[in-house]
Chain A
Amino acid sequence: MTALGLLRRALLLLAMPVVLVAAWWVATAGSTDFFWPPLSTILGTFDDTWFHGRITGDVLPSLGRLAAGYLLALALGVGLGVAIGSVRVLRALLEPVLEFFRAIPSPVLVPILMLFAGIGNGMKILVIVSGCVWPVLLNTVEGVRALDEVLRDTARCYRMRPHSRLVHLVLRGASPQITAGARQALSIGIILMVISEMFAASNGVGFTIIQFQRGFSIPQMWSGIILLGLIGIALSAAFHVVETRVLRWYTGLRRAQREG
């Protein structure tokens, strides 16, 4: 039964993508359109394009910058978010300012940050941080603010120390919102990873794809688009695994509330 269920799920999960890929394959088979090369050609160039030096030369540097920027933004967003969410005056003071910063589309920060940090790794990481930090920050503020009053009182009554209040009450209690912010931040981070490389770089996935496009290496460009898609899917899947673990109590609680 469970094996069958698993098979069913796998089938449902994969059926549609397989159909779509097959449709792409058939539709472009024998295509002579310069911009839409046959999928077989694109996949044929995939190995040549990416697996001979570009994984370490482009993909890993990109992912490294993403990881650095993303984790930094998480730490910064959660830290500031907890502080702002806990202090009412600070929250009232900063709310409109934060709303404004969140509303700025983060890619426009690229030219600004290029002024300060040049075009090196530092700038790209800074761009990713400056884009990812807002959803994390604002959601953390929201999560800390929405902490249950009774739970707060409970923590006070049992004289929880500041450190364990932070770890066992505030961070855990706000974790559903923090995770939601982190999920938004991840997709923003990927976008900024690519954008910052398209602007000015000497390596990276975004840089390479733009090079292909400018050089009219169309199948290679397509393979880059596919690679970016796969990176997006893989990172989102990894995030989902972490999220499921961290929020197991929350999904259970929500289900119990809905049934009860």
Chain B
Amino acid sequence: MTAAVTADAAGDGRGGRRRRAAPGWLLGLAGLAGLVALVEAVPRAGLVKERFLPPFSDMVSALADEAGTGAFWRALLETLRGWAIGLAVATAAGVVLGVVIGGLPPVRAATASTIEFLRPIPSVALIPLAVLLYGTTMRATLLLVVYASFWQVLVQVLYGVRDVDPVARETARSYRFRTLTQVRTVLWPTALPYVMTGFRLAAAVALILEITGELVIGSPGLGKQIAVAQSSGAVASMYALVIVVGLIGVVVNVIVRAVERRVLRWHPSVRREVFS
């Protein structure tokens, strides 16, 4: 009897959803195929000049050419390296500062609104300074990457620390020498989901700024390759590189989300994130 009952309940939601799931997958693929076909057909039909938008097949062969050169792989590596270093530095700084600021109530009160105040300062405002200080080296771009992704982490860590049970915080304050232990056992577990959210946002922002820096400043990496391709009129290569950059973005998103799920799978406070 109960089987019939649950089947009834499931029929409304799950059964119906499953019926759509498989075509959903196919439809997504069809959408991508449609985009490819469109990019192939539009320039071939002469609707857009090929020097503005080359057919997709040209982009693919340009990509194949690129992939045969060492310069492409070096640039790819540079981009990933700059992204990873910037993200690591920003995450470490954001977490440490976030825990320190968040753990000291007076400091938190004084900085909470300041951070909301300073965060909207656009990272690109620092481009001229970065160029002056570091020229067109990787460090110029790194400055932008760290600056932009730092805020993402910091703000989330502060949300997380604010979420800590006040009773536990009181205890932490009254036993001064055990503060570090309290940070480890009370504060960190509560803040971890927020840290992961911050990390996820920072990873995306870091990639954007890494590419932007390379593109505008001319530090080594895929962004610079795009600028070079553009100025030398290699339109198909430029599109190919943009596609590569987009794919890196997708891969980064997918990986970071997977990492987030893994880290938080066994986490007791994962339920609280719903209310964040």
Q: Which residues of A contact B (CB under 8 A)?
A: 9, 12-13, 15-17, 20, 35, 88-89, 92-97, 99-112, 114-116, 187, 190-191, 194-195, 198-199, 206, 209-210, 212-213, 218, 221-222, 224-225, 228-229, 231-233, 235-236, 258
Contacts and interface: CB of A to CB of B under 8 A. Distances in A.
Given A12-B109, A92-B27, A233 B133 contact: no
Interface residues of B, number: 60
Contact of B122 (A106, A190, A218): A190
Given A94-B31, A104-B249, A187 B122 contact: yes
25 contacts: A12-B110, A12-B112, A12-B113, A15-B110, A17-B114, A20-B114, A93-B28, A93-B30, A96-B28, A96-B32, A97-B32, A99-B250, A102-B249, A103-B252, A104-B246, A104-B249, A105-B249, A108-B242, A115-B52, A116-B52, A212-B128, A218-B132, A221-B132, A229-B122, A233-B121
Contacts of A258: 275
A15 B245 CA distance: 42
Interface in B169-228: 207-208, 211-212, 215-216, 223, 226-227
A187 B209 CA distance: 13
The B contact surface, by secondary structure, is helix
Given A92-B31, A111-B226, A232-B120, 9 more contacts: A16-B111, A92-B24, A103-B246, A103-B250, A105-B212, A191-B124, A213-B131, A228-B122, A232-B125
A215 to B, nearest CB: 11
Interface string B231-253: 00001001101100111111011
Nearest to A210: B128
A225 B128 contact: yes
Contacts of A97: 31-32, 34-35
B128 A221 contact: yes
A145 B112 CA distance: 34
Contacts of A17: 114, 117-118
A93 B117 contact: no
Contacts of B23: 92
Nearest to A111: B230
Contacts of B125: 194, 209, 224-225, 228-229, 232
A198 B127 contact: yes
A253 to B, nearest CB: 13
Nearest to A230: B121
Contacts of B245: 104-105, 108
Contact of A100 (B20, B34, B120, B246): B246
B108 to A, nearest CB: 10
B123 interface: yes
B121 A229 contact: yes
B212 A191 contact: yes
